[in-house]
Amino acid sequence: MRKTVVIFLLLLALAILFVTDIYAKNERGISDQISTSTPTAQASPTLTSVTCNVNTGLAGGTVNLRECQGAACGRVLDILTEGTSLTIVSTGEYFNVTTKGGVTGWLSKKYCEVKP
């Protein structure tokens, strides 16, 4: 019985050390991403919005702007017509975009033709 308790306590101590090590590595990774240096005075660049036009390939074609990424994901927030101009918030397989009316949602990148 005593041997079983000792083994259990050793395993528990190892588990605690393992979890503590993972937590420390995670914290270290986060702190490495945060700059602690004092910023120097520099001219800030002018931010410009990246935009795209809806391109379905069909005159008068439409595409759904959804609340999450995926063809069947979430509810439809807006129905966009061919040529609608959108502001790109983020990119990937699906673009997070905002309409001129202020509606922000997700659109497959194949329907978003980026303007030069």
Tens of pLDDT, residue by residue over 71-92, are 888 899 999 999 999 999 999 9
* Tally of residues, the chain: 116
Residue labelled with tokens 């790109």: 88
Q: What is the DSSP string of 39-101?
A: PPP-PPPPP---EEEE--SSTT-EEEEESSSSTTSS-EEEEEETT-EEEEEE-SSEEEEEETT
Q: pTM, whole model, 2 decimals?
A: 0.57
Other beta carbons less than 10 A from residue 44's beta carbon: 6
Q: Give 33-54 pLDDT, tens digit per residue.
A: 434 444 454 544 445 678 999 9
